[in-house]
């Protein structure tokens, strides 16, 4: 997949040169193209923002630099343009799965009080991380891009790595343990040492159901409980 990032702070994305995503680049599974929006402004002073018409606090990113940067990105990556902004649909794992199927994506990172409204006709999708404010679109783009790229075959090494993670089936993940067997007076549950894979699977499923019900009731209410789930939970079928 080719990822084009349009930003005022290209250096922030050096984070993708490390760890799993870094290795994926070395293996030519992922390719990044970073565009500095400031390089495309026609202002001799390299300005990319201006005061808002009608007054108000802060500055607004001007349309010309953004649109010209989008056009430049599309010359080598004719992909959907995604804007990280407050009007967008809340990003989640299902969206990540869908976007991971694309051959390329273009991410626009906003700043200041937002972007000129006339830029929106060049944007295909807008996503938000939630109802809180960040210092810039880069802070939102990094986790969004990471969540998409790790779903691409070959990035994690083997696809099974993400099959049972939190949110992959609408539930939070079950508890995980490793050595030592006992730590600060607490031991690993005996079921995990039993070697009985079917019982372990059922235990993990029950733990996921209970944890999701306790901590994320909003997710739990959307789960279609199977007959086995109801049996594990002690719910009688009506």
Residue 229 known to bind ligand: no
Residue 130 known to bind ligand: yes
Residue 110 known to bind ligand: yes
Residue 134 known to bind ligand: yes
Tokens at 58, concatenated: 């802060």
Rounded Cα distance between 65 and 61, Å, is 8
Residue 173 near residue 216 (C-beta atoms within 8 A): no
Residue 162 known to bind ligand: no
Which residues are part of a known binding site for S-adenosyl-L-methionine?
A: 110, 129-134
Which residues are part of a known binding site?
A: 110, 129-134
């Amino acid at each position: 997949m080719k990822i084009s990032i349009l930003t005022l702070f290209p250096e922030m994305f050096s984070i993708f040169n490390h760890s799993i995503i870094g290795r994926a680049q070395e293996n030519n599974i992922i390719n990044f193209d970073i565009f500095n929006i400031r390089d495309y402004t026609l202002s001799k002073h390299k300005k990319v923002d201006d005061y808002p018409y009608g007054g108000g606090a802060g500055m607004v990113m001007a349309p010309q630099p953004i649109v010209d940067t989008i056009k430049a990105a599309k010359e080598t990556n004719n992909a959907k343009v995604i804007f990280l902004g407050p009007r967008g649909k809340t990003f989640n794992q299902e969206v990540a799965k869908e976007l991971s199927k694309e051959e390329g994506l273009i991410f626009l990172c906003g700043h200041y009080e937002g972007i000129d409204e006339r830029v929106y006709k060049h944007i295909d999708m807008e996503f938000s991380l939630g109802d809180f404010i960040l210092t810039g679109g880069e802070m939102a783009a990094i986790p969004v891009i990471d969540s998409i790229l790790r779903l691409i075959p070959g990035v994690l090494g083997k696809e099974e790595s993400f099959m049972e993670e939190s949110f992959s089936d609408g539930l939070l993940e079950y508890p995980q343990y490793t050595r030592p067997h006992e730590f600060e007076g607490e031991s690993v549950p005996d079921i995990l040492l039993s070697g009985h894979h079917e019982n372990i699977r059922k235990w993990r499923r029950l733990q996921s159901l209970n944890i999701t019900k306790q901590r994320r009731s909003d997710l739990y209410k959307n789960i279609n409980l199977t007959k086995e789930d109801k049996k594990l939970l002690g719910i009688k079928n009506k």
